[in-house]
Structure 1
Amino acid sequence: MTTERREPAADADERTMLEGWLEYHRQTLAWKCEGLTDAQLRTASAAPSTLSLMGLVRHMAEVERSWYRRMLADEDAGPIYYTDEDPDGEFRLTEADTWQEARATWQAEIGVARRNAAGFGLDEPTRGRHRRTGERYTLRWIHTHMIEEYARHNGHADLVRERLDGATGD
């Protein structure tokens, strides 16, 4: 695996620290997917779960889109992979689903997330509101939540990767 991961400097300011850890965790998920075939990336972890590395990447594309487009910037950005009828659609993969598409979509959403976040201060309220609670958040909250989301799913990715080819790592 060759993805470069770099922890933020121990003396970084708060925004640099939050964005640094978020990037670290994004890079960790990419690292866990390196060197595998599309078939391996589509392989579910263990029945009956549909959890796979490609599914995790597609899920994180949806999560990036939800928080940084819909919530932060109040963009009208519908779902990519799921529907109301299939709320877990990002995890339901077919032979037609490719790593190239999943990775490109995920990276595009990360790019938009970075651009949208750059226009907000850490304490600035989101333009969008939570669809169920009506709550607004801050960029600080979103960054912290995204670090947690990636860290949790990177733990899943670690286990799936180990099951596929025995590769382990932090």
Structure 2
Amino acid sequence: MLRLHTNVYAWPPAAQSGPTVTLRSAEFATHGGLAGGPPLFTTPLPVAFEAMQAALLALPRSDAEPDGFFLVTGGSGDTFWRLNGHMHEFDSEGGGDAMHRVELNGECPADALDAVLRTMGWPSTELAFELVQEGVTLREPDFRRYAESPPEG
């Protein structure tokens, strides 16, 4: 089961390698911007708000609200999982209905995460995963390894 709270963006072309950090008792390579802070997330996801919303509603046991909130659930026996999220459009001029980012939070199996990521244009679009509480940006393989790791404490 994956445990996550992340913002998902299209990979920023100017992202640079950052420091290695220890999270959940494992080492992860982070990525940042040219000036050393977080990457500049200005590349839109390759899907419009309405298209992503329709794709989410096509998933089993899902709901998507007009404000961009969505929920996908599942389970078997005593195991229940849920992944909720919020779709955010670009607010800038000329952004149209381009998706800026998607916040994801919850616990789910990898195939459920994959189904939600496909609604964002993955795997043909490389994604960046900004861990909300930790404040670091990871590439997909490190993000999956992080999400699979048991939380500390």
TM range (shorter): under 0.3
Of structures 1 and 2, the one scoring higher in RCO (CA 8 A, sep 6+) is: 2
Between Structure 1 and Structure 2, the one with more helix by share is 1
Greater CA radius of gyration, 1 or 2?
1
Alignment TM-score, normalising by the size of structure 2: 0.27
Alignment TM-score, normalising by the size of structure 1: 0.25
Between Structure 1 and Structure 2, the one with more strand by share is 2
